[in-house]
A and B are shown apart, each in its own frame.
Chain A
Amino acid sequence: MRTRSFGAFAATSALVVLTTACGGGAADGQLGGSAGGAAAGQGQVYAQIAALPADQQRARAAQLAKQEGELSLYTSMTQDVADAVTKKFTDQFGIKISVFRGNSETVLQRVVQEGQARRLGADAVETNFREMVIMDQTWQLTGYTGAALARVKNTGKFAHWTATRFNLFLPAWNTDLIKPGQEPHSWEDLADPRYRGKITLEVSDSDWYENVTKWWLDHGKTQAQVDQLWAAIVANSKAAKGHTTMMELLGAGQTPIDAMNYSYITERAKNNGAPVSYRLIDGTNPTPAFARPNGVGMLSGARHPAAAWLFYDWMLTEGQQVLADLHLTPSTDVPGDTSLKGLTLAPFDVQSLTADTSTWDARYDAQLRGVAAVTR
């Protein structure tokens, strides 16, 4: 018995050797040719749909997608959202969706790596602003010109992708620890000494940092004043990693205020019964809420281009209702959506964050560690 099992072990080892030995020498992208050849076909499908009158595009795409039979989606939607979206889409069109879920950085890395190896796994992607911008800039995506585009707010339209939802940046607080009247009413309030030791910052929120900085500069503050405000906010705060962890600790009363958390995370915790809020007692919040677009894109080299088109179109139409039902902020007007009611929307600084993100990462990191006077 022992001899036999040892033999099996040895065979396994030998197999691994063979496999890996082949792996070492064959990194020559042999699969590239076929993928490249196929890309022309995908282009044709996209062009074929786009050439039709707007009112016929959906029907044609649905017909072609049915022939393709499935859709591969890479997304950073949370699992409950992804489940609801895929179920509704599949119920409506009978097209199976296979979903790869990861955080936005992972989705980007995977798309880029597969693109470089010319072995695409995704047909469509749905993820955060920053990653969508990079995929657009690296020519991974192809444009959509369908009728649904007219429904989308202007702040949600981009060259080769379109916003499906907005993540709102707002402070959140524990309602047991921050009594009515004590809540922050503006971003400046976070610098108030009365919040000393009560605020938590997230270590990767550099896009929020950039937006608030720009807002202040655009609204009459000097750089010196802005620097002072940030220094005071950091002095009031401790840092944490991960927005959901922060919300858990906020609900538990470990920290009284999150300087910024996504409103949908706060809303969800509140619905679970946690004593948290991002709105004042009257349901409003005067703090400028930056709405970061998250969007959908179709891969130029998709294996199921019609299904990708259909999904894109659907996310901007019927899919919007699914998002609103889950308390997310849809990018179009959806009846019954109250996610923006009483809030003070502020434009998200698309331009600066499209041009350069790494500088703001470094500045925010330095600001948190208190190592450098941050100058613009």
Chain B
Amino acid sequence: MGIIEIFLQPLFWMIMGMLYALVIVSARYWARDLGLNMNWWKWLLTGLWFVMLSLFVAGGMTLIGENEIQGGIYFLGFFLVLMLILGVGLWRLLTFNRKKADA
């Protein structure tokens, strides 16, 4: 392991951790700004979707990192398209009977 990796690897995970913390902390403010009437099961579904998205990106990237490039690309391609479809479905569910923020 080179000197750059010794510093870069923890730095990468620190930035990643900060970004995740930022997403989680600011989620309720985004929901409010978007005029979403969130309740416990909507938060649960949103959380599940986000965790699944993170896991699939991590899984695909791990495959690519382990030199299974074709497998990684197929994995990412399949699951990202699936997550996009589920994301659109989730968005429809969250915006059902939505009150506009500026209304």
Is the A/B pair a real complex?
no
